[in-house]
Amino acid sequence: MVTKSFCVLGHRGAMGHAPENTMASFAKAIELQADMTELDIHLSKDGELIVIHDSSVDRTTNGKGLVCDLTLEQIKNLDAGSWFAPEFAGQRVPVLGEVMEFIKGKIDLNVEVKASPQGVYPGIIDRLIEEIERHDMVDSVVVSSFQRPYLHELRRKAPHIKVALLYSKAFDEPWQEAVDQGWDLHPHMSLVDSRLVDEAHARGILVRAWNPNKAEEMRPLIKLGVDGVGTNYPEILQQVWREYHAERGTL
């Protein structure tokens, strides 16, 4: 797994259809036959890997406060679904291990490692490696982050786990850094052009772009030959991919 020629990557599950980073969203990504689902992790006050995008619980739950200041018990008491739609009332914020147990064998996983407002979380990479290995998911996980220190630490401690650099600002020759550091590239869709894809592929580097949600945004990326695309709507991406390859006679 993680090596399919084109990866349909559900963003925070399938967050166009269900509350992001909840079990309902991951179930929807599986239902829509995405190849991989992305999620985000923060570290709780008591050292648990909390699946949530923001550094606080304010936006996506009925609670308040920073994840790093709350215990797992406090976070588990929050409603993470009602804000999206009434039918999702009672959805909880999961921990990474729960998600892994649910999705294993059904869909690949992209774990994005987040930082707190104070900076990178000490110990989060050790906890992440432990969870990946405990669930025997080394072959079906890609770890990504905007924070290079996390990726450096992961490459040093667990070179057998695949990693990718997330970035949203242009910099010179990202493919060269990818080769030097041993990681793939996850650029914002606005940074993808033919040179990036060609130079990366010439060096064996995968390029997965994020996060178009409209067909007209997805098609140029597919035409450029990216290896995967993250989106809130996996079903739209699949349809665009099929239509493009049907036109070319390459299905």
* Predicted confidence (pLDDT) per residue in 128-187, tens digit: 999 999 999 999 999 999 999 999 999 999 999 999 999 999 999 999 999 999 999 999
Contact between 100 and 109 under an 8 Å Cβ cutoff? The reply is yes
When pLDDT is averaged across residues 35-55 and rounded to a whole number, the result is 98
Q: Is the pLDDT of residue 2 over 90?
A: no
Contact between 44 and 50 under an 8 Å Cβ cutoff? The reply is yes
In a domain, 225, yes or no: yes
Active site residue 135: no
Interhelix angle 174-181/148-157, nearest 10 degrees: 30
Active site residue 53: yes
* Predicted confidence (pLDDT) per residue in 215-242, tens digit: 999 999 999 999 999 999 999 999 999 9
Predicted pLDDT of residue 247: 87
Q: Exactly one of 17, 42, 53, 135 is catalytic; which is it? A: 53
In a domain, 102, yes or no: yes
Q: Is the pLDDT of residue 84 over 50?
A: yes
Predicted pLDDT of residue 5: 83
Give backbone dihedrals phi and psi of 152, rounded to 5 degrees, phi first.
-60, -45
- 248 vs 162, more confident: 162
In a domain, 231, yes or no: yes
In a domain, 2, yes or no: no
Predicted pLDDT of residue 96: 98
What residue ranges in the chain does DSSP mark as E strands? Answer: 7-10, 36-43, 49-51, 108-113, 141-145, 162-167, 184-187, 208-209, 228-231
Q: What is the pLDDT of the chain when averaged over all its residues?
A: 96
Interhelix angle 96-103/124-134, nearest 10 degrees: 30
Q: What is the CATH number of the domain that holds 148?
A: 3.20.20.190
% of the chain at pLDDT higher than 90: 95
Predicted pLDDT of residue 3: 47
When pLDDT is averaged across residues 49-56 and rounded to a whole number, the result is 98
Contact between 91 and 21 under an 8 Å Cβ cutoff? The reply is no
Domain that holds residue 96: 7-248
pTM of the model: 0.96
In a domain, 87, yes or no: yes
In a domain, 223, yes or no: yes
In a domain, 1, yes or no: no
In a domain, 136, yes or no: yes
Give the chain's domain count: 1
Predicted pLDDT of residue 4: 57
Predicted pLDDT of residue 251: 60
